[in-house]
Amino acid sequence: MENPPLASLSLTHVHYNPADRISYLCAWLALVPQGLCVIYATLIWSNREIEIMLMFAGQMACEAFNWILKRLIKEERPREMHGKGYGMPSSHAQFVVFFSVTLTLFLLFRHVPHPTETHTPFSFFQRFILSVLALISAAAVAVSRIYLNYHTPKQVLVGCLAGAVCAVVWFGITTYLRKSGWVEWILETELARLFRVRDLVIQEDLVDSGWARWVERRRKRQPTLQVQAKKTR
């Protein structure tokens, strides 16, 4: 065909009212799940932390659960909306609530960072504030789906509930995997060793990862750098 019909890749296609600034903001909030997937992929590739891999696995399981729920309930979206497919429960709401609740549970109950010579980790209160901000951000994304008429309030509430339940259940599963030694067993496999999978984020902040080693290396190089500086004068 010389002029075949074109299709739209609607992965990030969001309708909003250009005359409404709040609607414009909500359109950007609709891209948060895609942004979180990019963050997941970046952290997994760069840090190889098994905790992040487990969190992403739970996130994908939560998405699969949403897919099943939509096809079981088969509730349509609001009449005035522009989206396609079933609306119950909201996948956006379920996605961001799973992420924020899982992050909250990790920060408050599993993450126990140890201070180093070069870094003082966040206190429990600071981690609590981060958790609250994550939950508020999730709420903003959920409300945006109602504002843009992609979902009814009930569909968003059910999505939030499903995401929270999935997060709590998955946190319990990963806690069992840790206590029963399954995580340690995975880390000892040849595949985990091949891809340099590690488990440091429980006791070490991501921002401090490798920083202490870098400071120590710079400290050892300091005399050599001073000698080189004197020679160039």
The fraction of the chain above a pLDDT of 90, given in percent, is 37
Four-residue CA torsion sign, 159, 49, 209, 40: negative
Residue in the block written with tokens 């999978």: 197
pTM of the entire predicted model:
0.82
Q: Which residue has the higher pLDDT, 221 or 116?
A: 221
Amino acid, single-letter form, for residue 144: S
Round the average pLDDT of the chain to a whole number and report it: 84
The C-alpha atoms of residue 207 and residue 47 are separated, in whole angstroms, by 11
Domain chopping of the chain, boundaries: 16-232
The C-alpha atoms of residue 64 and residue 223 are separated, in whole angstroms, by 57
CA 100 to chain centre: 8
The C-alpha atoms of residue 88 and residue 201 are separated, in whole angstroms, by 35
Burial of 157: CB neighbours in 10 Å, binned 0-12, 13-18, 19+: middle
Q: How does pLDDT run across 106-160, given as a tens digit for each residue?
A: 999 988 877 766 566 777 888 899 999 999 999 999 999 888 888 888 999 999 9
pLDDT for 114: 74
Count other C-beta atoms under 10 Å from residue 15's C-beta: 13
> And the tokens for 121?
């980790």
Query: What are the φ/ψ torsions at residue 151 (nearest 5 degrees)?
Result: -145, 155
